[in-house]
Amino acid sequence: MTKLVSVRPYRESDAEGWVVCRAVSFLRTAYYDDVKQTRPELSNGAIGLVAAAGDGEIVGILDIVVDDVEATIDTVAVLPGWQHDGVATQLLDQGIRGLEARGVRTLDAWTREDVAANAWYRRNGFSETTRYLHVYLGDGDDPSGFRTPDGLSSPVTAFVHGRIEDEADLRARYSRVHVCRRYVRELTPR
């Protein structure tokens, strides 16, 4: 069942609601530590949308960066109590209408291994085109291969990109490895 929300352009007065929605929504995903204290400044021509509940609470957000005839979803998030009720799809539908009206031909997005997110992209007409790895060095992981200046301990944490061909080796060395996937949807510009 689709919950009723009002989808509208982002306003500066939505700043706190945007941060809360993103942080809480990402908490139980593979992006749980991709915390932002403020909404990043989007390039000129970007699309920023929010889904607001009847009381005005921001329950969903969508930011799309546009580069000529290509666009990328920068952030899509829905508060847990509103997930699986069509909010993200309402945001996406309005975003796509705006992109197609501007002549944008493709929309892509990057996500990790979250089953619900990957299923949502596929349900909404996206096809997976690319895979690579997000690798985190953390407590207890083997820091060999990482270098620090003399006199300092080995790295405490690190984030690197890895080749998908190295997945088995990297998963054997590091406790946190994610497959990062690129999804692309062809649009029909007007």
Give the number of other Cβ atoms within 10 Å of residue 76's Cβ. Answer: 23
C-alpha distance from residue 14 to each of 5, 78, 110, 164 (Å): 15, 14, 24, 38
| CA 170/CA 158 separation, integer angstroms | 14
For 53-99, what is each residue's pLDDT tens digit? Answer: 999 999 999 999 999 999 999 999 999 999 999 999 999 999 999 99
Query: Is this prediction's pTM over 0.85?
Result: yes
Instruction: Say which CATH superfamily domain 6-107 falls into.
Output: Gcn5-related N-acetyltransferase (GNAT) (3.40.630.30)
Residue 114 φ/ψ, nearest 5 degrees:
-65, 120
